[in-house]
Amino acid sequence: MLFDAIILSGGRGSRLGGVSKGALIFAGRSLLARAIDAVSGAERVVIVGPGGDGFLSVREDPPFGGPAAAIAAGMTALGAGSDFVVVVACDVPLVDRAVDALLATGPPETDGLVAVDSAGIRQLLLGVYRRASLEAAVASHPVQNLSLRALMSDLQLSTVTIDDGLLADIDTPMDAGFHGIPLPQPLETP
């Protein structure tokens, strides 16, 4: 299956004290580098947020406008391309294994295919979407500060259950500690 990819890395990291999640190190690599590796089979990759040397990088409008605005910015930056778009957040340490599980399912017959955890919660930032369906969702909503659920509300999405450990993301210092990810120490002021 040919696909393009959007990696979201532009969050504030407010629950982590303003730390850039993409810069956190897990198993010797930054979370952003791990997300890039996870979509290495993509025809084109756009990173929405800071980072991504050598990759197309854009910002949502306005910056920190939320994941729906980030997906809209990513779709605009990608333009026309493959029939499918893989969307991933950069704060999932084992994103490579989760993306592999999604792609192994094959192309979705619906508007998209998203990961679901053991509690049945859909992980909309870990999915394979039909480009035309994602474009239609973006075109039919004002995306600034729109929730991701609202953006995707009209899409018919299939799910694939993926082990919770592969879906665990980093939102808090406790999450980082669970994965053995050290947080940068705040600078001391004299």
Task: Write the pLDDT tens digit of every residue in 128-179.
Answer: 999 999 999 999 988 888 889 999 999 999 999 999 889 988 888 888 888 8
Task: Measure the CA–CA gap between 17 and 77, rounded to whole angstroms.
Answer: 30
What digits encode the pLDDT tens for the residues 21-47? 878 889 999 999 999 999 999 999 999
| pLDDT for position 13 | 67
Structural fold of domain 3-178: Spore Coat Polysaccharide Biosynthesis Protein SpsA; Chain A (3.90.550)
pTM value is: 0.91
* CB crowding 116-125: b at 16 or more within 10 Å, else e: bbeeeebbbb
| pLDDT for position 98 | 94
49 touches 11 (CB < 8 A): yes
Task: Measure the CA–CA gap between 109 and 115, rounded to whole angstroms.
Answer: 15
| Residue predicted with more confidence, 190 or 111 | 111
What digits encode the pLDDT tens for the residues 93-106? 999 999 999 999 98
- Burial of 173 (C-beta count, 10 Å sphere; 0-12/13-18/19+): middle
**Where along the chain do its domains lie?**
3-178
| Residue predicted with more confidence, 3 or 80 | 3
| Residue predicted with more confidence, 16 or 111 | 111
| pLDDT for position 97 | 93
Strand pairing partners for 128? 86, 113
Tell me which residue of 3, 9, 26, 12 sits closest to 175, measured CA to CA: 26
What digits encode the pLDDT tens for the residues 60-90? 877 777 899 999 999 999 988 899 999 999 9
| Residue predicted with more confidence, 51 or 1 | 1
